[in-house]
């Protein structure tokens, strides 16, 4: 069709010319002459008139050696060299129109690896496309005088003329890796696709770009964080993150500025965040910015999309544990909305994956009982939702409102019909939050961000045992956290390399814990604790960045209403590019924390909820951590080596914040934690292969002089941890295989039971004196992407994963319970928490 049209146009021009000036020739010649002047010259020489859009001929120059030429020859030359069509309207008038064509190309790296999901947009007409899994893109009817702009995270932006592309051969376009600093990020792949290294010490994860990971068929926010050396999950959960010796409650986890107190579904096995709504996740292990407060360990800052959608997009999917959907849609030009939700399917269908996870979670609890004569029913579900409104009332103002809701609910009933015994267990955990944000750019150098936020956590737990019509025991407990905060931040660019960020934060925390317990034959127990802390903080951060030095120096000052305490928290991160491929880095920080989790030592028989949030008070000290680190980065020829050594001590920890599996510490004692370690990451990419090696060498020791002399291993002291993983892309397929190994954690040795005047006591318990066997596991995953139509409007992804491929049974923790048997003799029972056995999973997802 294209060639027919060209022929008709050419034939029409030829007929027109021959009918007017068939034999006429003129001496024509130009040297860097504007096209406008050339057209005027042709009008004078050949008695014709041209009609055109000024933008079409703007900045176009013509060079043509001088000699006698016909009008046909000149216009043919202009058509070919300037990509303009000359269309005959009347006998004397010719209209200039841009030439159009269908174009395509194939995007590859220097190593000939296909680049999928790259953005390709024409500069003038804004027509665009996204490269497919083979790196190929196609755009129809583009103006040949236009320019294509090609962008891909981690690579330099490429601009090429449209006329240089031809649909027939789809030329290969190579993209070069970028080391340019934009938005505080080095566009450099850290571990795998979608994981970047920040110039300020953080690692940034972009779930939308994240490549396949071992054992996962789709991205998981907190599971992805465990890729980083120095971050461990000894209990195999997504939410149980131990960052350089710190406990999970010492991590600050934010979603659009909202503090999240309950971060896991299914008792921590699954992240409480829909990965498809997360746009960017910043992870800090040390050298934290001064704007982050009231936590002493890691920081995980999750940001959702902040741009108003141009069109409706989203996705829907399900796996063997839950289903989810995501919709992004504009509401006019300056308003948009993002809605996402997930819900478990366990109360609808019992899948093999759910049964495998349940077996791990409910082991050694009353929910695991399965015997003849016992009837048991369990209803369980989890859900989460995020709604975000975006508005741009003016070019300088950006408003957003985020609402998040997380819920986990469990109802269990056990009956023994023969004896008319009925036992119920109910647990309901909710975490909700709101954030209203106003960002204004006063100028290109000054902007502010104002946040008004609220977060609430509500745990309700209850058990009841009834024999016939008699209430035998009842246990009810609640734990509530209500947080309200205001953040105000001003960012000022002082020059090309200098920036100053300062702000004020107010936070009100109200925390309560209530316990009512009744057992026949024992005294009733009523325990009610609540408290409020107001925190005022001023902070300032100075940023200096050039091609050699990355410096962030900050200071945070806080005032706590508790005993009117004042704390200063200096923070610093420094990176120096000593050689083109070698960078030295160091960081230091002091941080405080006034709200943390303590252990509820009263056994519920369920083993699911023995951690409760509590405020620091006259009885519980404020946590304080000091950390320093130093290391280097080396990058060359797709090799990436990151090594960092660190020292971290924490004061203010108590026996209430750490259960030791020992009866002697079911009372209040204060202690200290010291962690020393080295984190090492080695990554190599070769064509379609990615390989990384993560290694941790460390030691965490506790000091509790009133409990035990000298230092002893911390509860989750992992001396060595190793992760070896590889990914491979082939056409629309992605494969990943990863092996994890770590040394066993400590446990308190088996106690000795002694009798004194009819009373039995546990003695000779040396805390954390022994270690469990080493832990290891192999995980595999595979995904396949395809489109449901030639228009590529709907993309489908299906995948399969296998956790613990060779079905290794490892012991995650061990404790010893003491009780009296039917003869009144003491018995010691060893209780092990075992790892997840071989567990398959499937996923299907549609994106539009």
φ, ψ of residue 250 to 5 degrees: the values are -90, 0
Beta strands in 520-564 (DSSP E): 525-545, 549-560
Task: Dump pLDDT digits (tens) for 286-328.
Answer: 999 999 999 999 999 999 998 888 889 999 999 999 999 999 9
Q: Is residue 666 within 8 Å of 698, Cβ to Cβ?
A: no
At a CB cut-off of 8 Å and minimum separation 6, what does 529 contact?
A: 512, 513, 514, 614
Task: Dump pLDDT digits (tens) for 415-446.
Answer: 888 777 888 888 999 999 999 999 999 998 99
- Residue of higher predicted confidence among 665 and 177: 177
Query: Mean pLDDT across the stretch 356-366?
Result: 84
Weakest mean pLDDT among 133-147, 474-488, 692-706: 133-147
Quick one: pLDDT at residue 196?
A: 83
What is the CA 383 to chain-centroid distance, rounded?
19
Query: Mean pLDDT across the stretch 19-36?
Result: 72
781 pLDDT exceeds 80? yes
Residue (of 277, 342, 285, 349) closest to 320 by Cα position: 349
Gap between the Cα atoms of 699 and 647, Å rounded:
10
What is the DSSP-derived secondary structure letter of residue 772?
P
Quick one: pLDDT at residue 419?
A: 74
Does 2-98 carry CATH code 2.60.450.10? no
Quick one: pLDDT at residue 701?
A: 95
What is the CA 62 to chain-centroid distance, rounded?
53
Gap between the Cα atoms of 626 and 7, Å rounded:
78
Task: Dump pLDDT digits (tens) for 72-99.
Answer: 788 888 887 877 888 777 767 888 888 8
Tokens linked to 454 = 């609220």
- Per-position b or e across 539-557, b if 16+ CB within 10 A of its CB: bbbbbebeeeebbbebbbe
Gap between the Cα atoms of 713 and 376, Å rounded:
40
Task: Dump pLDDT digits (tens) for 520-532.
Answer: 555 667 778 889 9
Quick one: pLDDT at residue 389?
A: 97
Query: Mean pLDDT across the stretch 233-241?
Result: 92
Q: What is the pTM of this model?
A: 0.80
Domain ranges of the chain: 2-98, 101-178, 303-847
Gap between the Cα atoms of 489 and 538, Å rounded:
10
What is the DSSP-derived secondary structure letter of residue 773?
P
118 pLDDT exceeds 50? yes
Across the chain, what does the average pLDDT equal? Answer: 85
Paired strand residues for 584: 576, 632
Gap between the Cα atoms of 625 and 44, Å rounded:
84
- pLDDT-derived band at 368, boundaries 50, 70, 90: low
Of the chain, the percentage scoring pLDDT greater than 70 comes to 89
Gap between the Cα atoms of 67 and 78, Å rounded:
16
14 pLDDT exceeds 70? no
Query: Mean pLDDT across the stretch 451-458?
Result: 97
- Residue of higher predicted confidence among 69 and 762: 69
Query: Mean pLDDT across the stretch 122-129?
Result: 80
Quick one: pLDDT at residue 140?
A: 84
Domain 101-178: state its class.
mainly beta
- pLDDT-derived band at 558, boundaries 50, 70, 90: very high
- pLDDT-derived band at 691, boundaries 50, 70, 90: very high
Quick one: pLDDT at residue 840?
A: 95
- pLDDT-derived band at 780, boundaries 50, 70, 90: very high
Paired strand residues for 574: 551, 586
What is the DSSP-derived secondary structure letter of residue 223?
H
- Residue of higher predicted confidence among 70 and 608: 70
Angle, CA of 194, 197 and 203, to the nearest 5°: 80
153 pLDDT exceeds 70? no
- pLDDT-derived band at 692, boundaries 50, 70, 90: very high
Beta strands in 131-191 (DSSP E): 136-143, 147-152, 155-161, 172-174, 181-182, 185-189
11 pLDDT exceeds 50? no
Q: Is residue 146 within 8 Å of 123, Cβ to Cβ?
A: yes
From the options 2.40.170.20, 3.30.70.270, 2.102.10.10, 3.30.930.10, give the CATH code of 303-847: 2.40.170.20
Query: Mean pLDDT across the stretch 370-396?
Result: 87
Query: Mean pLDDT across the stretch 158-183?
Result: 70
Quick one: pLDDT at residue 164?
A: 76
572 pLDDT exceeds 90? yes
Quick one: pLDDT at residue 18?
A: 43
Quick one: pLDDT at residue 19?
A: 46
Tokens linked to 656 = 């209430």
607 pLDDT exceeds 90? no
471 pLDDT exceeds 70? no
What is the CA 595 to chain-centroid distance, rounded?
24
Task: Scan for tokens 């009956």, then name that residue.
Answer: 415
Quick one: pLDDT at residue 9?
A: 45
Quick one: pLDDT at residue 376?
A: 79
600 pLDDT exceeds 70? no
Quick one: pLDDT at residue 660?
A: 64
Tokens linked to 751 = 């106690």
Tokens linked to 270 = 């699954």
């Amino acid at each position: 069709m294209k060639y027919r049209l060209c022929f008709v146009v050419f034939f029409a021009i030829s007929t027109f010319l021959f009918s007017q000036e068939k034999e006429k020739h003129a001496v024509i010649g130009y040297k860097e002459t504007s096209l406008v002047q050339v057209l005027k010259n042709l009008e004078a020489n050949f008695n014709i008139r041209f009609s055109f859009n000024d933008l079409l001929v703007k900045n176009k120059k013509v060079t043509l050696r001088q000699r006698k030429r016909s009008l046909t020859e000149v216009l043919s030359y202009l058509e070919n060299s300037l990509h303009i069509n000359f269309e005959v309207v009347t006998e004397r008038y010719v209209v200039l129109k841009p030439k159009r064509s269908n174009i395509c190309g194939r995007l590859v790296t220097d190593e000939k690896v296909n680049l999928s999901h790259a953005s390709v947009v024409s500069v003038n007409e804004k027509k665009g496309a996204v490269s497919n899994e083979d790196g190929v893109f196609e755009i129809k009817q583009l103006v040949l005088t236009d320019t294509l702009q090609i962008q891909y995270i981690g690579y330099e932006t490429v601009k090429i003329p449209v006329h240089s592309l031809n649909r027939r051969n789809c030329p290969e376009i190579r993209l070069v890796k970028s080391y340019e600093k934009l938005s505080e990020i080095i566009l450099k792949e850290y571990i795998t696709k979608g994981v970047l290294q920040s110039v300020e010490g953080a690692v940034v994860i972009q779930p939308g770009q994240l490549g396949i990971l071992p054992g996962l068929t789709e991205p998981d926010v907190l599971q992805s964080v465990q890729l980083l050396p120095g971050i461990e999950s000894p209990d195999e959960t997504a939410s149980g993150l131990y960052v350089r010796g710190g406990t999970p409650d010492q991590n600050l986890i934010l979603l659009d500025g909202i503090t999240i107190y309950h971060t896991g579904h299914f008792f921590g096995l699954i992240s409480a965040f829909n990965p498809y709504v997360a746009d960017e996740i910043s992870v800090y292990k040390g050298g934290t910015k001064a704007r982050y407060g009231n936590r002493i360990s890691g920081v995980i800052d999750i940001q959702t999309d902040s741009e108003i959608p141009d069109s409706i997009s989203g996705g829907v999917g399900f796996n063997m544990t839950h289903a989810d959907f995501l919709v992004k849609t504009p509401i006019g030009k300056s308003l948009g909305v993002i809605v996402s939700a997930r819900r478990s399917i366990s109360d609808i269908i019992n899948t093999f994956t759910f049964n495998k996870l349940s077996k791990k979670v409910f082991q050694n609890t009353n929910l695991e009982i399965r015997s003849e004569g016992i009837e048991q029913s369990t209803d369980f579900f989890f859900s989460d939702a995020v709604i975000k409104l975006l508005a741009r009332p003016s070019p300088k103002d950006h408003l957003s409102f985020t609402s998040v809701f997380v819920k986990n609910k469990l109802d269990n009933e056990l009956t023994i019909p023969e004896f008319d015994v009925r036992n119920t267990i109910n647990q309901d955990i909710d975490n909700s939050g709101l954030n209203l944000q106003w960002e204004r750019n006063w100028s290109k150098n000054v902007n502010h961000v104002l946040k008004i936020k609220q977060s609430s956590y509500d745990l309700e737990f209850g058990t009841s045992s009834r024999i016939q019509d008699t209430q035998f025991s009842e246990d009810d407990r609640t734990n509530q956290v209500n947080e309200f905060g205001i953040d105000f931040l001003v960012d000022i660019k002082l020059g090309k390399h200098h920036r100053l960020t300062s702000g004020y934060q107010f936070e009100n925390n109200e925390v309560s814990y209530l316990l009512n317990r009744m057992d026949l034959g024992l005294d009733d127990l009523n325990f009610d604790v609540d408290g409020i802390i107001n925190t005022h903080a001023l902070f300032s951060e100075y940023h200096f960045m050039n091609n050699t030095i990355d410096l962030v120096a900050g200071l945070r000052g806080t005032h706590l209403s508790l005993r009117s305490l004042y704390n200063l928290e200096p923070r610093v991160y420094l990176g120096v590019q000593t050689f083109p491929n070698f960078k030295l880095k160091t960081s230091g920080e002091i941080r405080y924390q006034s709200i943390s989790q303590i252990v509820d030592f009263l056994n519920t028989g369920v083993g699911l909820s023995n951690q409760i949030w509590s405020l620091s008070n006259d009885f519980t000290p404020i946590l304080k951590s000091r950390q320093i680190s130093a290391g280097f980065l080396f990058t060359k020829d797709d090799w990436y080596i990151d090594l960092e050594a660190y020292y971290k001590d924490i004061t203010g920890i108590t026996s209430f914040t750490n259960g030791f599996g020992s009866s002697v510490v079911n009372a209040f004692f204060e202690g200290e934690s010291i962690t020393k370690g080295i984190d090492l990451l080695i990554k190599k990419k070769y064509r379609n292969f990615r390989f990384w090696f993560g290694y941790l060498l460390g030691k965490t020791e506790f000091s509790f002089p009133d409990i035990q002399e000298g230092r002893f291993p911390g509860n989750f002291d992992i001396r060595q941890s190793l992760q070896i993983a590889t990914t491979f892309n082939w056409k629309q397929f992605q494969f990943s295989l990863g092996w994890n190994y770590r040394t066993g954690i400590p446990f308190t040795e088996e106690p000795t039971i002694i009798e004194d005047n009819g009373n039995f006591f546990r003695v000779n318990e040396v805390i954390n004196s022994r270690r469990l066997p080493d832990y290891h596991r192999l995980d595999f995953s595979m995904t396949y992407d395809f489109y449901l139509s030639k228009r590529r409007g709907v993309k489908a992804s299906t995948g399969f994963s296998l956790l613990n491929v060779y079905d290794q049974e490892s012991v995650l923790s061990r404790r010893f319970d003491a009780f009296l048997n039917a003869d009144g003799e003491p018995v010691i029972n060893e209780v092990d928490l075992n790892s997840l056995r071989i567990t398959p999973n499937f996923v299907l997802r549609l994106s539009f």
